[in-house]
Structure 1
């Protein structure tokens, strides 16, 4: 089994504050401050000095030091091994003596492991996380062979997509040769879809229809071994669906008289609309991006131009040039 050796570090990683609920963390209301993150995490059983220690399913204890600022606000600590996903987090109460805590976890795979820890106050608000990286000894422990590493989730074409569009997502086993496939789902943790890795320990890329629900939305995934019996912890990615956009306007002649019957075409997509008696035309449910706009009136091409339509929608009037005044535009098929 292949693992990448990483140097163990303790690092604070910023995350929007929220409460432990399914889906992404939600921002604290205006004027309300979430608790500070833990000051540090340490462990004698699994030190963060890069030395492989313990083994798969060998329980270790981790000491959480209370925040330096207002430690009394902390009611408990949420923690998650590897996933960094709040919905997968367990909690441990803060001690009354020093507001710190002791966490016991059993690593499920060898190589690099990451313990994520958040402070949580009495109102349920969550701090930014602190991560503690440590290395588990290979080929040892009662739980060996280990479960696969959680997959990395990335968006090769960006994490924003228009409503009704498609999102490209890549799942990567990052060299864990036990992994041969991935299970995934959008918005919930049902993990009802499966895609094979291009090779053991490799990646897989899928193109997903995102539908029309706009806003920030989660995607969840796990890595699966070659016989399907061992499944990794849960990974989570976030993408944003932008509302569908629009284009509207009026077709006029040179004397500002509305022109009915003009056929306006948008490409790509071959969207078409015909101007009405008032010269007006409209397109809705468009994906934002670059288009070529053409307009024909009868047998004439009367307009052809490039247009970038943003998420706010746009209004563009089209003017029909008088016959015989210069050459008409060229409307490509």
Structure 2
């Protein structure tokens, strides 16, 4: 019982249907004692009916075990006693877990491991009543409640637990653990274990195909060069930026042996284990939906078959991430496919993730996890080679890719979904000014935003003068352009245009910047002021030399000159025996200068 005031319940009846009212008495006593006539409650109701009555507060002790019986009274006689039932009062939630420790991620303040690198965390049982704990709930998310957190069973021996999990973020991580008892209650407090995680070191292998020819260099710096067949060529990359690898259905690239790396803080080179956590990712563009059943972007191979394969499944016209159960001929294949059909000629970002703890395969398409996953049975470490554009099956190379691939990556950990989504965003648009980048103040300019053929892009967002990106304009067609004419304003000088490309999934590119210049003849304005009264002077004639310019101040004392080139000028005025004169430098942006009348003669010089 989870309360000290539980309800005792039963059903009362009397064969004498003329008896309309019955009373049932409920008796309880501590196990080991005898039933008594003091600890009892009653409930009256009709014949027949269900009856229930709560035991009064203060009658039971938390942790005590009690027996109870009931019998019914019809006003004249008692019926037979019911059978004896027992219950234990357990009104206190379990204590929080004992200490959490980890040799992989010690709480010493120094960063250890990395995001996606699994670590073992030992959860000690509570010091008090450890046998009450059935499972432990845990989370790295401060907003997660114990009722929705992941769980791990307590051991039947010492009632602790061993949790193997990969930290979700670099920097400070906080693992929260609650105890949960057999009654389904959680400890009111969580045990919090705080530790620091190194930033991810990035891919173990990364091929961008930016070379002018020859083999593909591993730009991760780990030396996993991919030897390319002669028929593998370079073509313009996504949005025409850089180069990608074009494959004709017969050529491929091969890294001999497994991909290897040296992790930060370590001196030993180790292989990427594909029987542990790993992630593969790439941009791919198929030429046609027809063709071989499999077209492989990246694969890790054993001696007889592939261990993993990321690519296109022609039979179902879907993207696919697959793994095999054993390195043998005709092994069991476990696959996840994309929700939507692949689109020929369109660059698509693919990522396959294998989580060893749950043996789960997940496929991401354009940064979005697909709706189905699959659990692998078996699996093995691929040690023979890693191939771009093909895989191994029954000892023979097959699954050659026809199309283009780019930015191929292999990680030895579970890459963060947010970072996979970031890999899938469009490239920034190109910004051009077809009529030039210079306009007079008050005029207009035309700007063109160009997706440069990336058919994922359907929209542009832009802003003039700031980075607010508050205006949206559609592309003429997917991967096309948008042309906008805008007012440049009156502020002279260089001004920015910011823009981003947006694809059909509302994924936003990085920021692109264009610059234009607003020009025009400068202007000088100001006010003639009497120095004694500090009032503006109307009707004063202001002269500007060289050029013979004159301006008569209005009622507000204001004057202005326009229509002259930038340079050095002298401003002068006189009015009713008072004079002012100043020599100033006027820039293309113009200036403002007040003239203060003093008794003549008087000349003041300065620059602004």
TM-score, normalisation: structure 1? 0.36
TM-score, normalisation: structure 2? 0.21
Larger radius of gyration: 2
